[in-house]
Amino acid sequence: MGSRRPVLRVGIALFWVWGWVSSPIPTAAQQTMTLAGSGSSLAGPLLGVWGRKFHDEHPSLQVGYILTSSLEGMQEVRRMAGDLAIGEIPLSETQRSGAVLPLVQVPVAVFSIVPIYKLPVRTQIRFSGDLLAQIYMGRVTNWRDQRIARLNPEAVLPDIPGRPCHTCFAGGKRK
């Protein structure tokens, strides 16, 4: 068996919904109308719950959502291939006005993913944004690195290698 090294996972996301200024309402001739959405895979489970609850309260409307990426979702809405998208990146004024129809963005949820680490000693470690960036760029590779020690003068830091772990969850399942 290979040795297990401590790992670190981190991230934060503010999700935006991008969509058209107005959406049509089903007429008497239509039984149901489906709003087509795509975008962030992290927000997919949340959209699934919201879509089902919305449909329960408004049976003539359904929300279909495909897990793609924030960028792909936004591009589909801009091409009028979808009604809404979820993403982590706010649009600039140019991006909102440059679509076939003007886009509207509304912040809908804030997700926070915190650093998780496992060390052979029990200690609490503080991270800065810059330190996390240095870790993920491979510039900090040992738990006793001076950049970690500077932020954590009281911590007992082991002299062992560490590496970041990149994990993606989509639809509640680990990829």
Structural domain that includes position 50: 12-22+31-111
Burial class (CB in 10 A: 0-12, 13-18, 19+), 135: buried
Asked whether residue 1 carries a pLDDT value surpassing 80, the answer given is no
pLDDT in tens, 42-54: 888 888 888 888 8
Residues 40, 70: one domain?
A: yes
State residue 160's pLDDT score. Answer: 92
pTM for the model stands at 0.53
Domain-embedded: residue 175: no
Q: Which domain CATH number covers 98?
A: 3.40.190.10
Q: For residues 17 and 94, state if they share a domain.
A: yes
Q: How far is CA 111 from CA 6, 29, 54, 73, 114, in A?
A: 24, 40, 21, 19, 10
Q: List C-alpha distances in Å: 139 to 101, 131, 161.
A: 44, 9, 12
Q: Does residue 122 share a domain with residue 104?
A: no
